[in-house]
Amino acid sequence: MRDRVAKGPLIPYLLWIVFFVIAPIALIIYYSMLDLQGNFTLENYKRFFSPVYLKMAFTSFFYAILITFFTLLISYPTAYFLTKTKHKHLWLMFIIIPSWINLLLKTYAFIGIFGLYGPINAFISVFGIEPKQILFTDFSFLFVSVYIFIPFMIMPIFNSIDKLNPSLVDAARDLGASPFTTFRRVIWPLTIEGVKSGIQVTFIPALSLFMITRLIAGNQVITLGTAIEQQFLVAQNWGMGSTIAVFLVLIMFASMIFTAKRTKGGRV
C-alpha cells in the first residue's frame, strides 16, 4: 500500500537533510580532525579519552538518565489524567503555554524562588526551619531540567494515550485483569511509541543542556553541551568542540538503535 503514495513531497525534505543535516555533520567531523593550526590530526579523539573528559561525559550521562527518568515519571501520569479531563485539548495547551515564556526569564524566576531570601525559604522559616541552600544543588538542577522537559515529554505521550481505544482497557478489565496488569499488558505496550518519542526529545537534549548548568547549578554540574559551548566560544578550539559533538551524535545513534529494538516485539 505504501508505494501508492506520491514520493514527490519528499524533495524539499531531502534538500533540507542535505543542507542542514549532512553538510553540518560533515563539517563537524572535518573540524574534529583538525588541530589548532588547522593540520590533520586524531589528537582530539585521544584527548577525549583522558580522565577529565571521560569523567565529564560519565557524569553528564548520569544526570541525563536521572532527568529523563523523573520527567517520564511525572509526565506519564499527567498525560494519562489529562486524557480523562473534559476539555483535554485545552488542558494540553495549558501544559505547553509555559514553554512559550522565555526560558531565561523562567530561569531567573527560579533563581529568585530558590534563593536564600526567596518564597520557599520564607515559607519553611514559618515552621522554624533555618533557610536552606536550594540554589546550586543537585536538587535545583534536576528540578529545573525536569521542568523544562515536561511539556516536550507530555505531548507525544498524550497523543498516544489519546489514540488508545478505551474498549481495549474495558475488555481487559472485564476479563478480570487487575489495574496494574491492564496497565502493563495493555496500556503501556500501546503507548510505548509516545514514550519513545518523549525519551528521544528529552534524553539527548538533557546531555547537552547548557546555560542552566551555570545559572541553576553554578557549574557544579558540567554537561557535554556546556563543554562544547566552552570549546567553541571560550577556548576557540573548534576541533575539540567538534570532537565532543561527534560523540554526542554517536550516543544519539546508539540510543536510537536501543529504543528501536525494544519495540519490535510489540508492533509486529
Residues between 133 and 162 with contacts to other proteins, criterion CB under 8 A:
133, 135-136, 147, 150-152, 155-156, 159-160
The amino acid present at 106, given as its one-letter code, is K
Position among 171, 211, 258, 266 found at the interface with other proteins (CB under 8 A): 211
Q: Which is nearer to other proteins, 27 or 129 (CB)?
A: 27
Longest dimension (CA), the chain: 71
Q: Which stretch binds other proteins (CB under 8 A): 65-73, 78-86, 173-181?
A: 78-86
User: Do residues 242 and 233 lie in contact, with contact meaning Cβ atoms separated by under 8 Å?
Assistant: no
Element containing residue 253 per DSSP (H, E): helix 238-267
User: Do residues 64 and 203 lie in contact, with contact meaning Cβ atoms separated by under 8 Å?
Assistant: yes
Position among 141, 229, 243, 247 found at the interface with other proteins (CB under 8 A): 229
Tell whether residue 248 is a contact of other proteins (CB under 8 A). yes
Pairwise CA distance, residues 223 & 225, whole Å: 5
Return the exposure string of 168-198: e unless at least 16 CB atoms fall within 10 Å of the residue's CB, then b.
ebeebeeeebeeeebbeebbeebbbbbbbbb
Q: Which is nearer to other proteins, 96 or 129 (CB)?
A: 96
Nearest-approach distance from CB 29 to other proteins, in angstroms = 11
Position among 65, 73, 116, 171 found at the interface with other proteins (CB under 8 A): 116
Nearest-approach distance from CB 40 to other proteins, in angstroms = 17
In the block, cell 525494544 appears at: 262
Tell whether residue 261 is a contact of other proteins (CB under 8 A). no
Q: Which is nearer to other proteins, 187 or 222 (CB)?
A: 222
